[in-house]
């Protein structure tokens, strides 16, 4: 499978439109905090010939694909193997004080979903891995083998919003005492058998459990809670941030941080707003934007996306 065949950038033109006012200047720096296979990155480098791009990714396979794809752009691109909450450290190592744009395209990449042996897809039997960074230690197999029933119940409920979390956790603990879970098909089979028929009609019963395991293995929400504030801090005045989220838990974190920093912090009743109380951000879209019907038809992975964007209007000293 060719690199270009496994990645269609989501809401590409809209992300370009939103970031363009900040990037259309000599020496502008864009951080692609979730570089992946560089679909968005390549488009930005072509559209803005003077932009310098810093690409972050925890997935070494994705970074290798991105290096090949972006090789024609030479020293305009810096590649950093890091989780995206390491954005400030990455920029510091590159001696970059501030940037004009930051893009996050969250969730599982096309590469991770389509590479069966990574174990992200519940529809295909594979080892229970689910690591976005193959150099990290925790796998889904370890979670299922080592977490107690209460911990499994918590992650299924909190990260998968799974109402049957207690039932699934109990069955997993019972089953692993007989046979360890090593393959995704084992887990899918157990969940299917534990799910009432009426519930199964509303969607694949394993979807939420797999989402919860993936989030736990990669600490996605905890990382995101650190990454969004750090990315805003990296923005120069007039710089812009665009975030594409694919499930409500991610979007809630992004929404909370962008809204908090787009409001005045002046105490109620203060007759004059002091400069230090003024908002740091200006929101660029109303609520969360969705992909249009044409894009969803072309690229089904765009269906759940929620886009939010903001501009830095004040830097904190």
Strands 29-32 and 52-57, by their bridges, are parallel
The answer to whether the annotation marks 277 as part of a ligand binding site is: no
- Inter-residue contact 279 to 261 (CB < 8 Å): yes
Nearest to 37 by CA among 54, 56, 61, 62: 62
The answer to whether the annotation marks 159 as part of a ligand binding site is: no
The answer to whether the annotation marks 57 as part of a ligand binding site is: yes
The answer to whether the annotation marks 84 as part of a ligand binding site is: yes
Buried b (16+ CB within 10 A) or exposed e, 110-136: bbbbbbeebbbbbeeebebbbbbbeee
Nearest to 17 by CA among 312, 315, 307: 307
**Where would I find the H helices in the chain?**
12-23, 39-47, 60-70, 87-93, 110-114, 140-146, 149-160, 165-176, 184-194, 197-200, 207-218, 220-234, 248-260, 293-298
Query: Which positions ≥6 away from 313 have C-beta within 8 Å?
Result: 237, 238, 278, 279, 280, 281, 282
The answer to whether the annotation marks 105 as part of a ligand binding site is: yes
Alpha-carbon distance values, 279 to 19, 184, 249, 263, 282 (Å): 20, 47, 25, 5, 7
The answer to whether the annotation marks 112 as part of a ligand binding site is: yes
The answer to whether the annotation marks 200 as part of a ligand binding site is: no
Q: Is the dihedral of CA 285, 288, 294, 298 positive or negative?
A: positive
Three-class secondary structure of residue 157 per DSSP:
helix
Work out the number of other CB atoms within 10 angstroms of the CB of residue 201.
8
Binding residues: 38-40, 57, 84, 105, 112
Known binding residues for S-adenosyl-L-methionine: 38-40, 57, 84, 105, 112
């Amino acid at each position: 499978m060719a690199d270009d065949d496994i990645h269609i950038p989501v809401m590409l033109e809209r992300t370009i439109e939103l970031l363009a006012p900040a990037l259309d200047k000599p020496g502008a720096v864009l951080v692609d905090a979730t570089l992946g296979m560089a679909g968005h990155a390549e488009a930005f480098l072509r559209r803005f010939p003077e932009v310098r791009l810093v690409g972050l990714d925890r997935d070494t396979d994705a970074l290798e694909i991105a290096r090949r794809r972006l090789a024609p752009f030479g020293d305009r691109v810096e590649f950093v193997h890091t989780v995206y909450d390491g954005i400030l450290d990455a920029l510091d190592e590159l001696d970059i004080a501030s940037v004009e744009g930051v893009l996050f395209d969250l969730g599982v990449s096309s590469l991770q979903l389509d590479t069966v042996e990574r174990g992200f897809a519940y529809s295909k039997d594979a080892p229970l891995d689910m690591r976005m960074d193959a150099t990290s230690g925790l796998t889904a197999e370890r979670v299922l083998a080592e977490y107690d029933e209460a911990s499994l119940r918590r992650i299924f409920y909190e990260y998968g919003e799974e109402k049957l979390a207690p039932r699934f956790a109990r069955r997993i603990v019972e089953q692993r005492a007989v046979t360890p879970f090593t393959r995704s098909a084992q887990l899918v089979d157990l969940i299917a058998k534990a799910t009432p028929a009426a519930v199964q009609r509303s969607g694949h019963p394993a979807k939420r459990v797999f989402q919860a395991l993936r989030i736990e293995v990669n600490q996605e929400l905890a990382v995101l809670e650190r990454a969004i504030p750090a990315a805003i801090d990296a923005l120069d005045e007039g710089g812009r941030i665009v975030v594409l989220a694919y499930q409500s838990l991610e979007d809630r974190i992004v929404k909370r941080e962008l809204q908090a920093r787009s409001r005045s912090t002046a105490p109620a009743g203060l007759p004059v707003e002091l400069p230090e109380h003024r908002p740091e951000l200006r929101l660029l879209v109303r609520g969360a934007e969705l992909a249009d019907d044409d894009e969803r038809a072309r690229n089904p992975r765009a269906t759940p996306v929620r886009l939010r964007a903001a501009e830095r209007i004040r830097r904190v000293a």
